[in-house]
């Protein structure tokens, strides 16, 4: 990533230069910046946040434990500026159905592909037996402390598995078997030993610790106190790790990174009171985008005062929805079906281009290049909502898009 860093520095220097030339310095407005802590943190919390930030940016190499198999070498290499990632930094996952049962193909290196390896090791390839392959783009990771603190009770109240209210939208949680280091908290309501997943595009991770320990291992090949197993290449039958002593990141490092992500601020809104934006917001309700993209959720108690018992606006219900055949990659996690995805939070969607290199890529793999295309690819439970969008006048469509861009 050194190359990328120096590229970024070079680019910012050029911009600085252009800025001086045109006498218009272009420091980003605070309201456009995602990579910032929640403003109300205590001095101690802010210090922990900054320590976590440092670790989040840490570049691993062969001498610090990278691999033997890996995808990239730093959290920040995929989550640049904490914003939505680029299709060049996708994670590839695969699996297959054995009869009715989903098989993540662990004996063949599933579910995640590590397409890179340190010297002396072979990277993985996608086995020909895999029937489902998906490419997932990094989501923005701001405001996640709020999503983590939503009580299971509320998520279950939003679910409507039998579509009792007849609006064509069901919505179910993804039930996930917890890893052995998982600690249940008062807001969890397990069912048969499984917990509601809420992070990842299929809602495969129960909490931030689960998501981040998995990222260290599967994305970078970094062992932690929580998961001491290296990423072996089971495809070639090589069960030797690297030469770096395990754990390569200890529990306090991992907890600091969890705290960093947990205390990143909510994406700021822009042009909230613009008349077109306000009109677009009404349309968003009228064509029932809110049936899944629920505007307001509530948190339970949290050790971070700002997060505790507050209302916030992520535009998700954290539930899985059948999005129809077009978004079905034949791959899945937990109890989700292959056509089901967790409602993508829409907060910060208007800032996507800033972290995607000035272009926009929407939906789980970035296949949609405009917000309109993203909506047109909504099928399944969202088909009525899509039809509602199609029947809007050109002006109304623009207003709806202005609203999305203000989020």
Instruction: List residues near ligand HEC by CB under 6 A.
Output: 56, 71-72, 75, 77-79, 89-91, 136-139, 141, 144, 169, 199-201, 204, 208, 211-212, 215-216, 219-220, 257, 261, 287-289, 291-293, 321, 323, 327, 341, 343-344, 346, 349, 362-364, 371, 374-375, 378, 381-382, 385, 389, 404
Closest CB 241 distance from Ca ion, rounded Å: 4
Contact of residue 200 among ligand HEC, Ca ion, none (CB under 5-8 Å per partner type) = ligand HEC
Measured from the CB atom, the residue of 165 and 180 that comes closer to Ca ion is 165
Residue 217 to residue 209: CA distance in whole angstroms:
12
Burial (CB count within 10 angstroms: exposed 0-12, middle 13-18, buried 19+), residue 25: exposed
The residue within the footprint of Ca ion, chosen from 29, 165, 180, 229 (CB under 5 A), is 165
Contact of residue 141 among Ca ion, ligand HEC, none (CB under 5-8 Å per partner type) = ligand HEC
Does 241 sit near Ca ion (CB under 5 A)?
yes
Does 167 sit near Ca ion (CB under 5 A)?
yes
Q: Cα dist. 19→14, 97, 253, 357, 401 in Å?
A: 8, 55, 38, 18, 30
Task: Determine how many CB atoms are found less than 10 A away from the CB of residue 157.
Answer: 10
Closest CB 99 distance from ligand HEC, rounded Å: 25
User: Which two three-digit tokens encode residue 2?
Assistant: 């050194």
User: Which one of 56-64, 154-162, 303-311, 353-361 is the stretch in contact with Ca ion (CB under 5 A)?
Assistant: 154-162
Does 65 sit near Ca ion (CB under 5 A)?
yes
Please name the residue ranges forming H helices in 287-356. 352-355
Measured from the CB atom, the residue of 19 and 274 that comes closer to ligand HEC is 274
Residue 172 to residue 160: CA distance in whole angstroms:
7
Strands, sheet with 91-98, edge to edge from the N-terminal-most edge strand:
101-103, 91-98, 132-136
Q: What is the dihedral of CA 120, 124, 128, 133, to 10 degrees?
A: -170
Closest CB 364 distance from ligand HEC, rounded Å: 3
Residue 288 to residue 48: CA distance in whole angstroms:
41
Positions in 197-226 near Ca ion (CB under 5 A): 221
User: Which one of 63-71, 90-98, 295-303, 348-356 is the stretch in contact with Ca ion (CB under 5 A)?
Assistant: 63-71
């Amino acid at each position: 990533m050194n190359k990328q860093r120096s590229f970024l520095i070079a680019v910012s220097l050029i911009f600085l230069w252009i800025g001086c030339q045109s006498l218009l310095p272009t420091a980003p407005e605070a309201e456009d910046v995602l990579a910032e802590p929640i403003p109300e943190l205590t001095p101690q919390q802010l210090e922990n946040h900054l320590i976590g930030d440092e670790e989040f940016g840490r570049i691993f190499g062969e001498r610090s434990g990278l691999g033997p198999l890996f995808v990239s070498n730093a959290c920040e290499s995929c989550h640049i500026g904490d914003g939505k990632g680029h299709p060049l930094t996708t994670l590839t996952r695969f699996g297959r159905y054995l009869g009715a049962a989903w098989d993540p193909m662990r004996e063949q290196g599933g579910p995640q592909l590590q397409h890179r390896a340190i010297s002396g090791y072979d990277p993985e390839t996608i086995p020909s037996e895999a029937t489902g392959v998906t490419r997932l783009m990094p989501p923005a990771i701001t405001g996640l402390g709020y999503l983590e603190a939503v009580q299971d009770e509320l998520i279950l109240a939003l679910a409507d598995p039998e579509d009792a209210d007849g609006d064509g939208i069901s919505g179910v949680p993804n039930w996930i078997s917890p890893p052995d280091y998982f600690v249940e908290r008062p807001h969890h309501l397990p069912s048969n030993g499984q917990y509601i997943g809420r992070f990842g595009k299929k809602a495969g991770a129960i909490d931030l610790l689960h998501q981040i320990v998995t990222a260290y291992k599967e994305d970078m090949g970094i062992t932690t106190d929580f998961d001491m197993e290296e990423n072996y290449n089971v495809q070639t039958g090589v069960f030797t790790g690297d030469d770096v002593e395990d754990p390569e990141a200890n529990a306090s490092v991992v907890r600091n990174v969890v705290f960093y992500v947990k205390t990143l601020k909510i994406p700021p809104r822009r042009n909230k009171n613009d008349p077109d934006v306000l009109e677009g917001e009404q349309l968003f309700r009228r064509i029932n985008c809110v049936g899944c993209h629920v505007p307001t959720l509530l948190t339970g108690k949290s050790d971070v005062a700002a997060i505790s018992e507050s209302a916030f606006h992520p535009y998700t219900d954290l539930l899985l929805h059948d999005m129809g055949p077009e978004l079905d990659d034949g791959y899945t996690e937990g109890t989700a079906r292959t056509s089901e995805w967790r409602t993508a939070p829409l907060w910060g969607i208007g800032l996507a281009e800033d972290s995607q290199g000035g272009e926009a890529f929407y939906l789980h793999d970035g296949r949609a290049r405009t917000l309109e295309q993203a909506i047109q690819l909504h099928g399944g439970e969202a088909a009525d909502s899509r039809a509602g969008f199609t029947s809007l006048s050109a002006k109304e469509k623009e207003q709806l898009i202005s609203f999305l861009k203000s989020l």
